[in-house]
Amino acid sequence: MARNFGFAPIKGRVIDFDRNDKRVFEYVLEREPSFALCIGCGGCAATCSAANFTEFSLRKLNILIRRGENDEVRKIVDRCMLCGKCTLVCPRGVNTRNVVFLTREAFEEFDNYAI
C-alpha cells in the first residue's frame, strides 16, 4: 500500500529516446515514406481547419509521433477532421492526411498497447 506523505512526485518532462516506443512512427513511415521528408515548418498547422478552434497542432503531432511519445499522440490524434488542407500546402509533399490516418490505424493494430 503506497503511503501518503501529503505530496507526490511529478512526472518528468524528459524526452527519453531510449525508453520511448517508436512502433507507431515505424508503422507510419513504412506505409507513408514521405513522412521522412517533414522539416517541421508548420505550414500544415497554419492551414488546419481543426486548429482554428482547438489546441490541435499537426506539426506538434508529427513531432510527437517521431519522438515516440505515444501517450500524447493518442490524446490528440482524433482531433483531426481529415479535411486534407495540410496535404495541399506541405512544401515537401508529405501526405500528412495519410500520416494521421495511419497513426489511428497503428493504434488499432497494436492491441493491448502499453507504454
Partner 1 sequence: MKLEGKKRIWSEFQKEIPDDHFFYVRSCIRQSFFPGSEQFFLKVLKEDLGKDIFEDPNHTTCTGIGYHGDVVQFDTIQTVVARHFALATEHGYKDVVISCVTSFGIYEEIIETWKHYPETLEKTRENLYKATGRVFDVPDSITHSSDIIYKFKDEIAAKAKFPLIDHVTGEPLRIVEHIGCHYSKMFPKYGVGGAEFPHVLIGMIEAWGGEVIDYPERRHCCGFGFRQYIVQANRGYSLSNSRKKFVSMQPYKPEAIIANCPGCTMFMDKWQYTIKEMDGMTYGQHGQGIPVLTYEELAGIVMGYNPWDLGLQYHNVQSEPLLDKMGIKYDQEEKYLTKDGKKLPVPKDLINA
Please say which residue, 3 or 111, places its beta carbon nearer to partner 1. Answer: 3
User: What is the Cα 115 distance to its own chain's centre?
Assistant: 15
Q: What is the smallest separation between the CB atom of 4 and partner 1, expressed in angstroms? A: 8
Please say which residue, 6 or 93, places its beta carbon nearer to partner 1. Answer: 6
Please say which residue, 19 or 53, places its beta carbon nearer to partner 1. Answer: 19
Please say which residue, 12 or 93, places its beta carbon nearer to partner 1. Answer: 12
Q: List the interface residues with partner 1, window 1-60 (CB under 8 A).
A: 2-3, 5-10, 12, 14
Cβ-contact 65, 27 below 8 angstroms: no
SS3 10: coil
DSSP 92-105: T---HHHHHHHHHH
- Taking the C-alpha atoms of residue 74 and residue 23, their distance in angstroms, rounded to an integer, is 13
Q: What is the smallest separation between the CB atom of 18 and partner 1, expressed in angstroms? A: 10
Cβ-contact 95, 65 below 8 angstroms: no
Q: Interface residues with partner 1 (CB under 8 A)?
A: 2-3, 5-10, 12, 14
